Amino acid sequence: MTAFLFANNFFPELDHLSADDRGAVTTFIGEFQRNPKSPGISLERLQNDLWSGRVTRDLRAILHKDGDIWVFLRVDHHDDAYRWAERRRAGRHPTTGALQVVETVVREVERPVEPAAPPLFAERSDSYLLSLGVPSTWLPTLREIRDEQTLLGVLAHLPQDVAELLLRLSTGELVTPPEPIPPSTPILDAPAARRDFEVIGDEATLRRAMEAPFERWIHFLHPSQQDLVTAGFSGPAKVSGAAGTGKTVVAMHRARHLARQGKRVLLTSYVNALCGNLERQLRQLCTPDELARIRVSTVHNQLLVVLRKQDPDLHWADDGAIKSALARAAREVPGGFDVDFLAAEWAHVIQPQGIVTWEQYRDVRRTGRGRALSVRERKQIWQVFVRLREHLAGARKGDRAALCARAIDLLASGKVASEFDAVLVDELQDLQAGELRLLKALCKSPGDLMLVGDAGQRIYGPGFSLSALGIEVRGRSYILKVNYRTTEQIRQHADRVLGDPVDNLDGHTETRRNTRSLVQGPVPTFQAHRSSKAEVEAAAALVRQFIADKFPASAIAIFARTNNQLDAVDAALAALQLPSYRLRDDDDRDNATGVRLGTMHGAKGLEFRAVIVVGCSDRYLPHAAVLKDIQDPNDREHAIQSERQLLYVAMTRARERLLLSWSGAPSRFLIPVPV
Ligand SMILES: Nc1ncnc2c1ncn2[C@@H]1O[C@H](COP(=O)(O)OP(=O)(O)OP(=O)(O)O)[C@@H](O)[C@H]1O
């Protein structure tokens, strides 16, 4: 039976066509799928196993045929389409059997006059490189490559699956060649084809692909992502990876996959704004039926949903309510503990570790809490917290840890039933112990609990170890390594600022050294200024330049550590008559125009073509006001690390361009990058 495949850059490449032309492409694909031989298609065989079809008088489609399968490679204006086809050949690789579209004009690599380093692949035989899928015509070029920068330039011209294997090889990994595909196997049955080609059989999927050509994540998953989307696990699974490695995409596709199996799915993220993003993206990915089975919600909202089934009047205790209840409790319980000390104990031990019983507090490890406490002292302190909670309960309020524990009890006792078969957690790193235990309790089937996050982006809370919370992910922990968001240049600089290794969210560390992006772009800019006024004026001037370079204003973001800094940026933009838009939690950002302005905390989960981070001075990063009252060296160290991670989050929002600027002394976090 005839089937149809699409190369993974087929839809993005249509973006430069007019709306009318894109409409004609949709009609052409429909007609072609009904009957490739219809006279209107004017199918014509070209060289190198390529074919052309007539879309309109001016447009031509280039295709390849593999057995019964037609592969759509490109549509372009007549001459451009034929020129593109002249420089390519398509067919199965003689060693791996994978379908490849290969450029026939091979890039020359400049030979250094005095070779400094040996060629990267000197130790690899031709037959080994061929077994990875390297097209034989590219072997001489590969043999000349001596540094990673040149390698990345060459890899952009090779099939993506081959490029990825070579990158892994260049970082010293042991790479096993893929299992060869016998020539008799239909290409659709070969896993390697999933990487570069996609089957689009139904009209609805085709329409979505045409409407959102840049949303490649909707149709193309990396095999490592695809495996995680469809795998059946025997217990909770953890997916980590640096910023931009497609973790959220995995969570969304898995949500759809489970919904298709009829499961009721909870997809959570940390704050409302991130849930809003997830909902918007899920609407692109899912049918209304699938969407009806997926609930997107913050953990906090879900917690209240459970509790209010028993007690409709229950509320959160906000910071003010907790502060006054603590002051009152401290006065009532003898022992003379300083209120600031008690508040720190509450914030750094009780809440993050989800402590609700005396036994838990008696036994908890207070690592990094400064002075040690005797059991007698702990007992006295615990009395204060018991009293604090009584005061809150009197006002029908509760703190986060206590409310989570109560919700878990309700679920465990069967008084309230969970609505979810599966729970998927994004931005895992910012959750606290009580919340994680609650999510586990909400998930009816342990193999359908998937936790997705990056400790390098933790900006709240001290962290945790999943196994210490009874969430066992050993043997089911996966790291994604291909960065889809940022250029390799931005990725490298952001990773240097963050440092390596990072916490693996399970009591150990993991390295990011093998993460790579296959997209190249300009090196990020680092700029010192005489004054903060000069700095924001330069940022506004750069925005004007980006807009002149055809970046839409809404694809540009400026981030700063504080809102005051953003006010100054706003004024500088207004002086150049450039529209701006403040990113906030509950906004309608899809319809808003203007350059996006946000705090670094609000940058989470977003992405823009160009990002400017202002105020990267040592006064603001780490923020002096945050460190001012922290005496304990461990707390200080932890606060500084959170600030570093905040800068990492802001930097990694950039897809193509990134500028960091400051006045005064540069941030200490910039020491690892050449500024
Ligand atoms: N398989 C894919 N093909 C093409 N683009 C992809 C793919 N997977 C992810 N992307 C794109 O890469 C970008 C980053 O993806 P995503 O937000 O899922 O990463 P992340 O690891 O969750 O990032 P962060 O930790 O910074 O939030 C998005 O623009 C997404 O659409």
220 lines ligand 1 (CB under 6 A): yes
In terms of Cα–Cα distance, which of 61, 131, 71, 128 is closest to 99? 71
C-alpha span between 356 and 351 (Å, rounded)? 9
CA 353 – CA 345 distance, rounded (Å): 11
Kindly state the average pLDDT of the residues 409-415: 96
Q: What angle do CA 553, 557, 558 make, to 5 degrees?
A: 125
Q: Taking 70 as the threshold, does the pLDDT of residue 203 lie above it?
A: yes
Q: Which residues contact 584 (CB under 8 A, 6 or more apart)?
A: 273, 602
The pLDDT of 552-564, averaged and rounded, is: 96
pLDDT (tens digit, 9 = 90+) per residue, 446-502?
999 999 999 999 998 778 999 999 999 999 999 999 899 999 999 999 999 999 999
The pLDDT of residue 519 is 84
- Find the range with the poorest average confidence among 229-243, 263-277, 288-302, 410-424: 263-277
Tell whether ipTM is more than 0.95: yes
Is residue 440 pLDDT above 80, yes or no? Answer: yes
- Average pLDDT of span 284-304: 95
Predicted pLDDT of residue 171: 81
Could you tell me if the CB of 662 is within 6 A of ligand 1? no
Partners of 610 in the beta sheet?
A: 556, 657
The alpha carbon of 485 and the centre of ligand 1 are apart by a number of angstroms equal to 6
CA dihedral for 643, 648, 649, 653, sign (positive or negative): positive
Mean pLDDT of the residues in the chain: 91
Nearest-5° Cα angle at 605, 603 to 608: 70
pLDDT band at 410 (very low <50, low <70, confident <90, very high): very high
Answer yes or no: is pLDDT of 513 > 90: no
Residue 216: pLDDT band with limits 50, 70, 90: confident
Between CA 346 and CA 361 the distance in angstroms is: 11
**C-alpha to C-alpha distance for 79 and 259, rounded to whole angstroms:** 46
State how far the Cα of 590 lies from the Cα of 277, in Å rounded to an integer: 10
Which of 206-220, 269-283, 417-431 ranks highest by mean pLDDT?
Answer: 417-431
Q: State if residue 453 touches ligand 1 by the CB under 6 angstroms criterion.
A: no
Nearest CA to ligand 1 atom 26: 243
Ligand 1 in contact with 607 (CB < 6 A)? yes
Which atom of ligand 1 is least distant from the CA of 480? 21
Q: Which atom of ligand 1 is nearest to the CA of 426?
A: 22
pLDDT digits (tens, 9 = 90+) for 641-666: 999 999 999 999 999 999 999 999 99
The answer to whether the CB of 663 is under 6 A from ligand 1 is no
Q: What is the DSSP letter of 395?
A: T
| Spatial separation of the C-alpha atoms in residues 186 and 512, rounded to whole Å | 37
Does the Cβ of 485 fall within 6 Å of ligand 1? Answer: yes
249 lines ligand 1 (CB under 6 A): yes
The CA-atom distances, in angstroms, between 157 and each of 87, 222, 310, 572 are 12, 18, 60, 42
Q: Are 61 and 71 in contact (CB under 8 A)?
A: no
Whether 298 shows a pLDDT value over 80: the answer reads yes
Is residue 111's pLDDT more than 70?
A: no
Taking the mean position of all CA atoms in its chain, how far away is CA 85?
Answer: 35
How confident is the model over 319-358, as pLDDT tens digits? 999 999 999 999 998 877 888 889 989 988 999 899 999 9
Alpha helices by DSSP H, listed for 466-562, are 488-498, 532-548
Question: Please, are residues 166 and 119 in contact by the beta-carbon 8 Å criterion?
Answer: no
Distance CA 99, CA 197 (A): 9
Residue bearing the CA closest to ligand 1, atom 9? 246
pLDDT band at 293 (very low <50, low <70, confident <90, very high): very high
Question: Are the C-beta atoms of residues 118 and 99 closer than 8 Å to each other?
Answer: no
Can you tell me the distance from the alpha carbon of 172 to that of 491, in angstroms, rounded to the nearest whole number? 19
Of the residues 161, 217, 656, which should be mutated to test ligand 1's pocket, given the most ligand atoms within 8 Å of the CB? 217
User: Looking at residue 593, what is its pLDDT?
Assistant: 85
Q: Which residues are annotated as a binding site for ATP?
A: 241-248
Q: How far is CA 235 from CA 5, 238, 409, 434, in A?
A: 35, 10, 21, 19
- The pLDDT assigned to 217 comes to 85
- Residue environment code for 377-396, b if the CB has 16+ CB neighbours within 10 A, otherwise e: ebeebbbbbebbbebbeeee
Rg (CA), the chain: 28
DSSP state of 350: I
Question: pLDDT at position 9, please?
Answer: 85
| pTM of the entire predicted model | 0.86
Find the mean pLDDT for residues 8-31: 90
Q: For the chain, first and last CA: distance in Å?
A: 59
Residue 192 pLDDT greater than 80, yes or no: no
Q: Is the pLDDT of residue 15 over 70?
A: yes
Per residue in 117-157, pLDDT tens? 889 999 999 999 999 999 999 999 999 999 888 888 898 88
Q: Which amino acid is at 160?
A: Q
Q: What is the number of H-type helices and E-type strands within the chain? A: 25, 26
Two tokens, residue 631: 């005496």
Residue 232, pLDDT above cutoff 80: yes
CA 300 to ligand 1 centroid distance, Å: 25
CA of 540 to the centre of ligand 1 (A): 28
Q: Return the structure tokens found at 212.
A: 């959102």
Residue 194 in contact with ligand 1 by CB distance below 6 A: no
Whether 243 is in the pocket of ligand 1, judged by its Cβ within 6 Å, is: yes
In sequence order, what are the residues at sequence separation of 6 or more whose Cβ sits closer than 8 angstroms to the Cβ of residue 187? 5, 66, 67, 69, 92, 99, 181, 193, 197
Q: Which residue has the tokens 């930097």?
A: 651
More confident residue, 57 or 197: 57
Ligand 1, atom 28: closest residue by C-alpha: 485
pLDDT at 512 over 70: yes
Q: Is 245 in the pocket of ligand 1 (CB under 6 A)?
A: yes
